Each structure stands twice: as structure tokens, then as C-alpha cells.
Structure 1
Amino acid sequence: MCGRYVVSQSADDLADEFGVDRIAVRERLEPDWNVAPSKQVYAVLTRPPRDAPGDAGERRLVTVRWGLIPSWSKDLSIGNKLINARAESVAEKPAFRRAFASRRCLLPADGFYEWRGEKKGARQPFYIRPRAGSLAMAGLYEIWRDPTRPDDDPEAFVWSTVVLTTQAVDELGEIHDRMPMLVGRDSWSAWLDPANQNASDLQTMLTPAVPGVLDAYPVSKEVNKVTNNGPQLVEPVTL
């Protein structure tokens, strides 16, 4: 985890569910049943007002590119490799530690896909979803300045994100050895607060996506091709 996931809810629905103060997107995304790296995805984050740095700030729904691009990167290609970050070491890794300190976000998802098996052609995809509500996957974000674009270009600053993962447990571990870290509703405000930089406290807010609150079932191998999309991808199949 995590290489593909699903977001079918609208920006308005996500804003309501995640208590967003402002929908700050240039373009609203279509429902996506096959979210893949490098795509634009919704993220929830807190941005403190520039004129009141001590203020709690406002919670925003934004769009970001999946695949983290650290500020020191020469180009955005590194983001294709940085789609996941291990929660166990995220506070120390050079690519993630600055974002973990003050640029944390929530990545809403209906559910996510994992594959079981060793051979590429024989690997069976599974869809893993919560029994109620949406997943609030723990994420980090960065803002990268594209040196090839002028200052007045709206694409000069690229917002990107990474999903935090941990060791999979129980039945989920039989499908894949990694799974996303989640943030419980009671911890959303503290996780999103950029002023909260206590690494130990932040780690305690992360919750593994454990069985008991999730359902996992096999789905069509159509999901293997990133150009395939639609609600049929999450329909269960018989093995």
C-alpha cells in the first residue's frame, strides 16, 4: 500500500464530512475509482492566516499531485517514486521529515486496492473499504517551485502529497505487507495543526487500517490498467 485508491465523493460532500472551512480548488475533480500516482487528488489541510500566525487557521480542501516532490528537488520526476512513506521512519527521512514537522494532511478515500500474489499477471486485486464513512488516510504535502516556469504562471508552484503506511496485520497482511495509516476524527485538528511539531505526539495519532472496521474482497483485474475507471471496478468477483 498504497498504489491505487478510490474517491467518488464530490468536493462539497467531502467538505461537509471533514469540516472544511473553505474549498480552495481551481478545478473540481470527477469521481475516480482508479486513483493512480501522479493524478490530482483531494487533500484536507490547515493553512494559518499570514496576518495572524498564532491563529488556528482555516481547514481547506485542496487538490494535490499524488507523489511527493520535496522542495529541494530539481524536477517533479522524483514524485513518481515517493507515493508512500513509512510511518516508522517518516520523522527522520530527508525527503519527508520537514513535511512531517509542519505540512500534514488528510487524504479522503472511499477505499483502496491491494494485490495478492507474486507474478505480475497472476496477481489478484482486492478492494478494501470501511464499513461506514470515508477513510482519512494520513498524508504529508509539499509545495515545490518549478524553476522552468515564470512567477505569474499558475502552474509555477506544484502541491504534492504522500500516503503514510505501516506494517499490515491479520487478514490484511495476507493480501499485502503494507497498509495505510489513518487519523481518527478526534485527532484531525491536532494532526492538521502546523504548529504541532512534537513527533512522538504525532505518531500516537496514527491508526493502522485494521480488520474489523474494514471489508476486503476480490475485484476485477480491470483495475490493473490505470486507464480503466468506473464503479464496476469495486464490484466483488468470485475467485
Structure 2
Amino acid sequence: MCYNYSQYLDKKDLEEEVGKKIIPNDQTGLTSFYNANGFDFPKMPIITSENPDFIQIAEWGFIPKWTFDPEDSKSKQIRSGTLNAKAETIFEKPTWKDSAEDLHCLILTTGFFEPHHAPDGSCIYYFITTKSRKVFSFGGLYKKWINKKTGEERKNFTIITVEPTPMLRRLHNKKPRMPYILGPGEENLWLTRGNNRLDIENLTRTYIDDDLIAWPVSKLANQKQNVPSVIEPIEFSDSLLIAENNWILTGEKPKSEL
């Protein structure tokens, strides 16, 4: 599952990289995150199918539609279970089915974190990103929560997860899943409204490994530390991982990537 990801670009760089402006009313809500933790329900940049020409700021995790107070303990507990949505069940689960057909979004990211568990019980965290793009997109669903007393409207989103690629299966080896990553040519398709269920299910296929790279990072990744060093590669020696003979697991970048 994906509970930690980064989007560390500031407003100017994000707009330049994506080629879209942030909606004026949302501009003050943008915060740069090296390590956004879903259980804090942070506000993050997305692009929605309803308004695909602009970047909007939305909260990670669906607020229960029945609640009058999103900050109460019961609402937060339920919301913690809505950070990810399995692609295989978005048309069946009541939480997702109202959004599954048309309320799609691109979740703008610079990378995400996953743990690798060794047989001895130790754990190394990895930062995964793409070689070709500074910002790329997870596919997600969104909705609007409206306070029935005040009329306040808050946008929420969830990250869709899919079966992992071979690389991610080796890396994220305990209950392996991965976020649904969209290639550049698929982003507009995901935002197109009116697709039927089969079209949508065909889109949510597993991403190809070719453009993904990963490296080990410090345990700050699991400590809610939002600092630049959280995404920096570390050196380590672990015979169990080195035995995999794969630079992604050993942390040894090929010369072409140095």
C-alpha cells in the first residue's frame, strides 16, 4: 500500500513542470512535502476530471459523508482506511463506487516510499521515482465532502493501488502492492469522463518497470520526518540484499544513473 509519498516542488516549479496553474482559491493551501504521511491527512496537489485545466489542493483520505466533524476520532479512524483504494474493487466497495466512473484525479508526486523486509526481521525503506520526469502522476479517485450545517466544501482523494511490477514485488515484499502510476500518454485518458467500466479497468493495469528507479533511504521515512534528507540515498551493507545481485536492492546505482 502507499501511505507515504513526496511532492517537494514549490508553487512556481510545480506549475512550470506540470504546465498548469493552481486554482487561485487553492494557492495558499499548497505545502511542499518531502515525506507526506497519509495518516496526517495532508493537503496535496491534484488535477480532477471535472476541472482538468488547473491544479487543485485536496486532502488525502475520504471524509465520511455522514460526519459533521471530520476531526473527531471516529471520523479519523474511518478516514485512515480510505488512503488507498484497490483497483480491483473500486466499482464494488460503497466507499469508492460513487467516484469510480467519473470522479478521477491525477495525484502529482515526485516519488514514494516502500519498505523491504529481510528474513532476519530488519527493514530498509526505499524511495521510488522515475528517471524521465521530475513530477509524475498516481491515478486516484476524489469526492467533495460538504458540511450540512455550514455548507463548507472540502475536496478529498484516495490513491488507487494495483498489483506490483516485478521490481516492486522484490522491493516491497510484504503484502506487495504499488500505487497506480500513469504514463504521460495515459493521464488524459484517466481524466476523460464517460469511459465505461471496461475502459477504466483496462487503464488500471500495472505500470512498466522501465522508467522506475529506487534507492535505500534512512529510517526517517518511517518517522514522519519532512526534511530533504529523507529522500537522500544511504549506503548500507546487508548480505541478504546484496545476494539479490540487483542494484535496486543493494543501493548500488549503475554508472549511467550516477
Structure-2 separation of matches of 1:31 and 1:86: 27
- What amino acid does structure 1 have at the position aligned with 2:147? D
Indicate the residue corresponding to 1:145 in structure 2: 146
Q: Does 1:6 align with 2:9?
A: no
- What amino acid does structure 1 have at the position aligned with 2:46? A
Indicate the residue corresponding to 2:228 in structure 1: 231
Instruction: State, as a whole percentage, how many aligned pairs show the same letter.
Output: 25
- Matched-pair contact (CA < 8 Å) for 1:222–1:233: yes
Which of 52, 58, 62 is matched with 1:64 structurally? 58
Measured after TM superposition, the shift of residue 211 of structure 1 is 2.3
- Matched-pair contact (CA < 8 Å) for 1:15–1:23: no
What are the residue-to-residue correspondences of 1:99-118 with 2, within 5 Å? 99-117=99-117
Unaligned runs of 5+ residues in structure 1 are 48-56
Measured after TM superposition, the shift of residue 108 of structure 1 is 0.9
Indicate the residue corresponding to 2:216 in structure 1: 218
Structure-2 separation of matches of 1:39 and 1:143: 16
| Greater CA drift, 98-107 or 205-214 | 205-214
- Matched-pair contact (CA < 8 Å) for 2:52–2:191: no
Q: Does 1:166 align with 2:169?
A: no
Could you list the per-position Cα deviations for residues 175-207 of structure 1 after superposition, in whole angstroms to 9, with x for gaps in the alignment? 2210011222223223213x3241111222234
Q: Does 1:32 align with 2:30?
A: no
Query: May I ask how many residue pairs the two structures share in their alignment?
Result: 222
- What amino acid does structure 1 have at the position aligned with 2:109? A
2:234 match: secondary structure? coil
2:31 match: secondary structure? coil
Which has the larger share of strand?
Answer: 1
Measured after TM superposition, the shift of residue 140 of structure 1 is 0.6
Measured after TM superposition, the shift of residue 58 of structure 1 is 4.8
Which has the larger share of helix?
Answer: 2
Could you list the per-position Cα deviations for residues 60-114 of structure 1 after superposition, in whole angstroms to 9, with x for gaps in the alignment? 2111111123535565422221100111121221110111112110001111000
- Matched-pair contact (CA < 8 Å) for 1:6–1:32: yes
- What amino acid does structure 2 have at the position aligned with 1:165? T
Measured after TM superposition, the shift of residue 31 of structure 1 is 1.9
1:99 match: secondary structure? helix
Indicate the residue corresponding to 1:53 in structure 2: none
Structure-1 separation of matches of 2:57 and 2:218: 28
Scaled by the length of structure 1, the TM-score of the pair is 0.83
Scaled by the length of structure 2, the TM-score of the pair is 0.78
- Matched-pair contact (CA < 8 Å) for 2:31–2:44: no
- CA RMSD, 1 decimal: 2.3
Larger Rg: 2
- Matched-pair contact (CA < 8 Å) for 2:182–2:207: no
Indicate the residue corresponding to 1:51 in structure 2: none
- Matched-pair contact (CA < 8 Å) for 1:183–1:207: no
2:34 match: secondary structure? strand
